[in-house]
């Protein structure tokens, strides 16, 4: 098995790791996984934190290590795994995959607009009925990455992921 192939296997394995605060989406679809590099028996993994004060980072790191160890049973010659959080490039919400956006919506969290620019008005559709007739209740929600909104059409409160753009 060559190194590229091993890297693909490890990427696949990391699709089992989710953000504990958003269990509907794995870290690959969330765009947190930046680099997987296999060198000999070593795997180096670089992750991009979503929000810098996110308390889930340590848990995610542990889950990544366990997932790689588990995969190592099938991938020959992996001995050591090194997981690091890096800030370059900064995580932005346009890194979320189309599948990830669907999963968020199903979970009741509206995905952020795909191509948001700083300072632009931010339109959020209701994840339940699809209506655009929604109001922002609180930009800040139950976790750093989410906001609280209300749908005036189906009368449901819901959450949305804050857009984060490169500024």
Closer of 15 and 51 to other proteins (Cβ): 51
Q: Which stretch binds other proteins (CB under 8 A): 10-18, 103-111, 134-142, 149-157?
A: 134-142
Minimal CA–CA distance to 135: which of 117, 120, 147, 119?
A: 147
Q: Which of 41, 139, 152, 153 binds other proteins (CB under 8 A)?
A: 139
Is residue 76 within the footprint of other proteins (CB under 8 A)?
Answer: no
Distance CA 164, CA 133 (A): 22
Distance CA 159, CA 111 (A): 9
Is residue 107 within the footprint of other proteins (CB under 8 A)?
Answer: no
Phi-psi region of 132 (alpha: psi -120 to 50; beta: other; left: phi over 0): alpha
Q: Which residues bind other proteins (CB under 8 A)?
A: 51-55, 58, 87-88, 90-92, 118-119, 137-144, 148, 162, 164-167
């Amino acid at each position: 098995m060559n190194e590229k192939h091993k890297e693909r296997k490890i990427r696949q394995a990391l699709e089992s790791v989710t953000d504990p605060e958003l269990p509907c989406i794995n870290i690959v679809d969330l765009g947190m996984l930046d680099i997987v590099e296999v060198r000999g028996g070593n795997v180096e993994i670089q992750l991009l934190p979503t929000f810098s004060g996110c308390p889930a980072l340590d848990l995610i790191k542990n889950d990544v290590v366990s997932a790689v160890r588990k995969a190592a049973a099938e991938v020959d010659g992996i001995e050591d795994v090194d997981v690091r959080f890096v800030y370059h490039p900064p995580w932005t919400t346009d890194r979320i995959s189309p599948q990830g956006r669907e999963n968020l919506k199903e979970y009741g969290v509206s995905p952020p607009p795909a191509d948001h620019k700083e300072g632009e008005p931010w339109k959020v559709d209701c994840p339940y009925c699809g209506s655009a007739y929604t109001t922002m209740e609180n930009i800040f929600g139950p976790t750093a990455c989410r906001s609280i909104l209300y749908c005036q059409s189906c009368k449901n409160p819901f959450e949305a992921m804050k857009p984060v753009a490169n500024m």
